[in-house]
Amino acid sequence: MSVELFVQYLFAGITYGAIYAIVAIGFNIIYNTTGIINFAQGEFVMLGGMISISLLPFMPLYAAIALAVLMTMLFGALLEICFIRWLESPGVLRMIIITIGLSILTREAALHLWGESIRSLPYFIGDEITTVAILGARISPQVLWVIAVCGLMVLFLSVFFQATSVGREMKACAANRRAAILCGINTRNMVTLSFMLSAGIGALAGCVMSPITSSGYDIGTGLAIKGFTVAILGGLGNSMAAVGAGLLLGILEAFSISVVPLAFKDAIAITILLLILFVRPHGLFGSSTAAGLKEF
Nearer of residues 60 and 101 to other proteins, judged by Cβ: 101
* Residue 239 CB, nearest approach to other proteins (Å): 16
Residue 59, classed as helix, strand or coil, is coil
**Which CB, 133 or 290, lies closer to other proteins?**
133
278 binds other proteins (CB under 8 A): yes
Among 61, 70, 252, 270, binds other proteins (CB under 8 A): 270
Least separation in angstroms between residue 245's CB and other proteins is 12
Strand partners, 119: 215
Please pick, from the candidates 63, 159, 264, 288, the single residue that binds other proteins as defined by CB under 8 A: 264
Residue 70's identity, in one-letter code, is L
Least separation in angstroms between residue 86's CB and other proteins is 9
Helix, strand, coil percentages, rounded to 5, for the chain = 75, 5, 20
Nearer to other proteins, 83 or 285 (CB): 83
Tell whether residue 287 is a contact of other proteins (CB under 8 A): no
Give the number of C-alpha atoms closer than 13 A to the C-alpha of residue 221, restricted to the C-beta side: 12
- Closer to other proteins at the Cβ: 188 or 265? 265
CB atoms within 10 A of CB 124: 17
Stretch that binds other proteins, among 163-171, 175-183, 241-249, 264-272 (CB under 8 A): 264-272
CA 149 to CA 69: how far, in whole Å? 14
| Of 100, 134, 166, 181, the one binding other proteins by CB under 8 A | 100
- Helix or strand holding residue 49 (H, E): helix 41-55
Residue 179, C-beta contacts closer than 8 angstroms, at least 6 positions apart:
172
Assign 112 to helix, strand or coil. helix
Residues 179-238 that bind other proteins (CB under 8 A): 209, 212-214, 216, 218-219, 221-222, 225, 228-229, 232, 236
CA distance 67 to 248: 32
Instruction: Provide the sign of the torsion angle of the four alpha carbons 92, 79, 17, 244, taken in this order.
Output: negative
By the rule CB under 8 A, 105 interacts with other proteins: yes
> For other proteins, which is the closer residue by CB, 143 or 185?
143
* Distance of closest approach, residue 180 Cβ to other proteins, in angstroms: 22
Enumerate residues 6-35 that contact other proteins by CB under 8 A: 8-9, 11-13, 15-16
Nearer to other proteins by Cβ, of 77 and 276: the residue is 276
Which CB, 115 or 159, lies closer to other proteins? 115
Name the residue nearer to other proteins (CB basis): 90 or 167: 90
- Which residues make beta-bridge pairs with 137? 134
Q: How far is the CB of 100 from other proteins (least distance, A)?
A: 6
Quick one: which of 162, 176, 258, 288 contacts other proteins (CB under 8 A)?
A: 258
Helices and strands: H and E segment counts in the chain:
12, 2
Q: Could you give the C-alpha distances from 205 to 77, 148, 212, 220, in angstroms and in order?
A: 18, 11, 12, 12
> CA–CA separation, 251 vs 258, rounded Å?
12
